[in-house]
Amino acid sequence: MHKNKKLLIAANWKMTPPTVNEARRKALLFKGIAKRYLKAPKAKASLQVLVCPPYPFISELRTVFKNSPALVGAQDVSEHDGGSKTGEVASTMLQSLGVSHVVVGHSERRAVGDTDEMIAVKLGQVIRTKTQVILCVGESIRDEEGEYLNVVKAQLKASLARLSNADFSRVVIAYEPVWAIGRDDNMALSGHDLHQMVIYIRKMLRDLYNDSIATATKILYGGSVTPDNAEDIIWNGEVDGLLIGRASFEADSYEAICKAIALPTHSSMIMREATMRKMKTIKNNKSRPSVDKSKEKVLKGMKRVKKGTRKIRVARAKKTKQK
Ligand code: PEP
């Protein structure tokens, strides 16, 4: 287990809560969590709380989070920078509200028409306004032949097409397998399987760009994260944080996730491994895709990236120590 890990724990409130009063009440609770977990005593990681509420609540959250480490993000942005575009919200508007991160390419936006090309333009808009972008990628199904790896590669390639190398300091990638979103926690990827995907994404970034982008770019995981699986996902998955949907609708479950990550007990990891083993023995369960066949493909040629990742981790730990 690596100490001094800095993790981004992003809450995607989606289209909740129904009123601004409710948003304010919830935001106050998240503000407390942000303070408690930025540097919790005996914690194995420092957690950065980020809340992405619906657009109308952004200002309210900014007010509540004033003088606190909690950040406010947005769930989407327009491709356009202004003008006669009814219902759209420009990145400059989000910037003027003090938004730190903008989610782009979420599967629920892709489902209503966002294409990789549109996502590439949105990415450019966010980066132009000096804001961090959380780019969501992830396959809809996980086939035995490993075609899902090409799906993720194509999404990354097309979405990042317009960026310069320097722009990457503002890019966070959220790997969110669509089949794992909105399910129960047994459908989340296991930490072990996630780690393979993280290595593969870093390999793709190295192939498409260079070693330092491959190792320095932050990768989050999203898809049915709960307090029961968070520890395994973070500590075995080797991700730099999470993008949490439903479990972030209530401050209690969000905080339980933070606690499981920052103060890991190992017991949840052991329990989860046992559940995963049990699930693998249920031969007829076709709904949870297997990764084993494509494993070899994923691991091939990744040793160099792994080495680079280790180097970055050591460098990051040193930096944190110096601070
Ligand atoms: C999401 O919508 O980004 C997400 C990860 O949702 P959930 O955690 O509910 O699966």
The reported pLDDT for the residue numbered 186 is: 78
Q: Ligand 1: which residue has its CA nearest to atom 6?
A: 245
Q: Does position 197 have pLDDT exceeding 50, yes or no?
A: yes
The reported pLDDT for the residue numbered 268 is: 61
Whole-number Å distance, alpha carbon 186 to ligand 1 midpoint, is 14
The reported pLDDT for the residue numbered 199 is: 97
The reported pLDDT for the residue numbered 287 is: 47
Please give the mean pLDDT across all residues of the chain. 88
What mean pLDDT do residues 144-170 have?
93
Residues 6+ away with beta carbon under 8 Å from 115: none
The reported pLDDT for the residue numbered 301 is: 45
Catalytic site residue 176?
Answer: yes
Whole-number Å distance, alpha carbon 110 to ligand 1 midpoint, is 14
One of 79, 101, 139, 176 is an active-site residue; which one? 176
Residues 6+ away with beta carbon under 8 Å from 161: 120
Whole-number Å distance, alpha carbon 106 to ligand 1 midpoint, is 9
What does pTM read for this prediction?
0.85
**Residue 292 binned pLDDT confidence (cut-offs 50, 70, 90):** very low
pLDDT, tens only, 19-39: 999 999 999 999 999 999 999
Tokens representing 85? 């575009």
Q: Which residues of 128-164 are buried (b: 16+ CB within 10 A; e: fewer)?
A: ebebbbbbbbbbeebeeebebbebbbebbeebbeebe
What mean pLDDT do residues 82-92 have?
97
